[in-house]
Amino acid sequence: MHSRALVLFSGGQDSTTCLALALSKYAHVETVAFDYGQRHHVELDARLHVLAHIKAQFPQWADKMGEDHLLDLSVLGQVSETSLTRDMAFKMEEGGLPNTFVPGRNLLFLTLAAALAYRRDLEVIVTGVCETDFSGYPDCRDDTMKAMQLALSLGMDKRFLIETPLMWIDKAQTWQLAQQLGGQPLVDLIVEDTHTCYLGDRVHRHAWGYGCGECPACVLRARGFERFTAPA
């Protein structure tokens, strides 16, 4: 029976929901984030506020929260010509993928997370990747996650479980899951403290939280919140 988990925690809506789910399931939960030169670097500050507020507002989870880790992955930003790591407009590329796709990002994230989990004796790696809401990211696919689970388990001779609780639900259902896990206080925390906007906008406040309101991440989050809050 698994009891120790590592959550890939960026400080956004999805990873905060995944963290809440992990805390509801496992006895010990640690978190890890990556500094890869992202334009929305503010997420690395936001995540610390989220962690602090979860500990303060949800005492049933506080004792389960273990160490938080921040890993330097600046080399990824150095080799990536994308709109998440460069000052360029968001657009679709000729190959059919959005230029927000950072090649190899989730593959590197999971590899380093597994190495950390190996050292920390953590059996489950939780990540908020999702196929249901369109992203165009091949490293978010269920098949990719299954392949990574097999490769990492074989390569480190340790049986890892890569858990993807959001894989088959949309953004409205992600908001609903947060409400089921932590009630309105968790929904309010996600609105106020988490960060999703690709441009790092913490000035403009909307019903769904802070952001520019126009980048792909903001549009997806806003539409999900609208469906979540719509009268039945």
Q: Which residues are CB-neighbours of 144 under 8 A, at least 6 positions away? A: 106, 107, 138
Token pair of 173, please?
A: 């259902």
Report the length, in residues, of the chain: 232
In the block, tokens 């403290």 appear at: 193
Residue 215: CATH number of its domain? 3.40.50.620
Q: How many domains does the chain have?
A: 1
Q: Which residues are CB-neighbours of 131 under 8 A, at least 6 positions away? A: 140, 141, 142, 167, 168
pTM, 2 dp: 0.89
Token pair of 183, please?
A: 């009630």
The confidence score (pLDDT) of residue 40 equals 57
Question: CB–CB of 136/32 below 8 Å?
Answer: no
Which amino acid type is present at position 227?
R
Which amino acid type is present at position 208?
W
DSSP 137: -
Q: Which domain holds residue 159?
A: 4-229
Per-residue pLDDT of the chain (232 residues; tens, 9 = 90+): 899 999 999 999 999 999 999 999 999 999 999 987 765 578 889 999 999 999 999 999 999 999 999 998 877 766 555 544 444 444 444 555 555 556 778 898 999 999 999 999 999 999 999 987 655 678 888 999 999 999 999 999 999 999 999 999 999 999 999 999 999 999 999 999 999 898 889 999 999 999 999 988 899 999 999 999 998 7
CA separation for the pair 9, 183 (Å, rounded): 20
Diameter of the chain by CA atoms? 50
The confidence score (pLDDT) of residue 139 equals 82
**What does 73-135 look like in DSSP terms, one character per residue?**
-HHHHHH--STTTSS----B-TTSSBTT--TTHHHHHHHHHHHHHHHHT--EEE----SSS--
